[in-house]
Amino acid sequence: MIENRPGLNILAHLVLILGVVIVALPVWVAFVASTRSATDFMSGTVPMWPGPHLVENYARMLDSGVSTSGTPPVARMMFNSLVMALSIAIGKIAISILSAFAIVYFRFPLRGLAFWCIFVTLMLPVEVRIVPTFQVVAGLGLLNSYAGLSVPLIASATATFLFRQVFLTMPDELVEAARIDGAGPMKFFRDILLPLSRTNMAALFVILFIYGWNQYLWPLLITTDAQYYTIVAGIKRMADAVDGLPQWHLVMATAVLAMLPPVAVVIGMQKLFVKGLVETEK
């Protein structure tokens, strides 16, 4: 539907601008705060323009961090988050594409049961099973480890269904042509299914990377060793200054830093991402 009424146009733009302001303003405030010094916040008014301490604040956070809050340098926490987000994204894609492959292309005994088991995990995200999962992870001695951070979040089914859907849209003749061309199951998977699901994998990667990066409750729970703190959980710890005021300029610098990798992933994979969501190239 294409309408061309100026009144409607202006209204639409007003709504959009309002939306942008609502989203962008807090980010701006965080950025401004991260360029100020600690004393700028004592007055009670929030500054709206950047100050002169940008380089100083960021260098300090990346390098040493706020030692009083018990958090390691931000660089360390970002590295931890990166490992966690990448493991979750890659692990989940690998597991779900393989299980979708099995479910769609093979007739094995108890296939129905396997399907339902995967289906049930949809209803059990980490937050629901957090206590028993903690118990299991602790029992396996995985507290304070990258495996403990990522493995429990990898095991879930959402992505399996996405790939199942993708595979179901592949024409049967393609499978048959490959069979006649002498491609066994794994060859078919590698040479045909994987390349054809490339854009879907990219879209999923973006979503899962951000999902993993933004994990909060689970890392907070299972990391007690500062060496394994992730950045999102770390911000919380920094803001919780026990004695005295939180160092807002430093907390905000950390927050701005924490935003960068997801933004980079989205921008870097934007083209593939959009393709994967809207295009069916079969």
Partner 1 sequence: MASIKLDNLGKIYPGGSRAVGGVKLDIADGEFIVLVGPSGCGKSTLLRMVAGLESITEGEVRIGDRVVNKVEPADRDIAMVFQNYALYPHMSVRQNLAYGLKNRRTPKAEITRRVDEAAAILQIGPFLDRKPRALSGGQRQRVAMGRAIVREPAAFLFDEPLSNLDAKLRVAMRLEIKDLQKRLRTTSIYVTHDQLEAMTLADRLVVLNAGQVEQIGTPLDVYRRPASTFVAGFIGSPAMNLIPARAVPHLPGSAHAAVIGIRPEDLVPDPDGPIEMQVGAIEELGAQRLVHGKVNGADVTIALPSHGELSDRLRLNAAPEALHRFDDKSGKRLD
Q: Which residues bind partner 1 (CB under 8 A)?
A: 171, 173-174, 176-183, 187, 191-192, 195-196, 198, 281-282
Residue from 251, 260, 266, 265 nearest 29 by CA? 251
CB of 281 to partner 1, least distance (A): 6
CB of 191 to partner 1, least distance (A): 7
**Helices marked H in the chain:** 6-34, 54-63, 74-105, 111-121, 130-139, 146-154, 158-168, 172-180, 185-188, 194-196, 198-213, 217-222, 231-239, 248-268, 270-278
* Nearest CB to partner 1, comparing residues 13 and 271: 271
CB of 166 to partner 1, least distance (A): 13
Residue 30 burial by Cβ neighbours in a 10 Å radius (0-12, 13-18, 19+): middle
**Helices marked H in 126-223:** 130-139, 146-154, 158-168, 172-180, 185-188, 194-196, 198-213, 217-222
Angle at 131 between CA 126 and CA 135, to 5 degrees: 110
CB of 189 to partner 1, least distance (A): 13
CB of 185 to partner 1, least distance (A): 12
**Could you tell me if 269 and 205 are in contact, meaning their C-beta atoms sit under 8 angstroms apart?**
yes
CB of 193 to partner 1, least distance (A): 10
* Nearest CB to partner 1, comparing residues 85 and 178: 178
* Nearest CB to partner 1, comparing residues 191 and 225: 191
* Nearest CB to partner 1, comparing residues 5 and 107: 107
CB of 172 to partner 1, least distance (A): 9
* Nearest CB to partner 1, comparing residues 13 and 111: 111
* Nearest CB to partner 1, comparing residues 5 and 282: 282
* Nearest CB to partner 1, comparing residues 6 and 109: 109
Which residue has tokens 């507290």? 143
Cα separations in angstroms, 217 against 98, 118, 153, 241, 261: 28, 24, 12, 19, 20
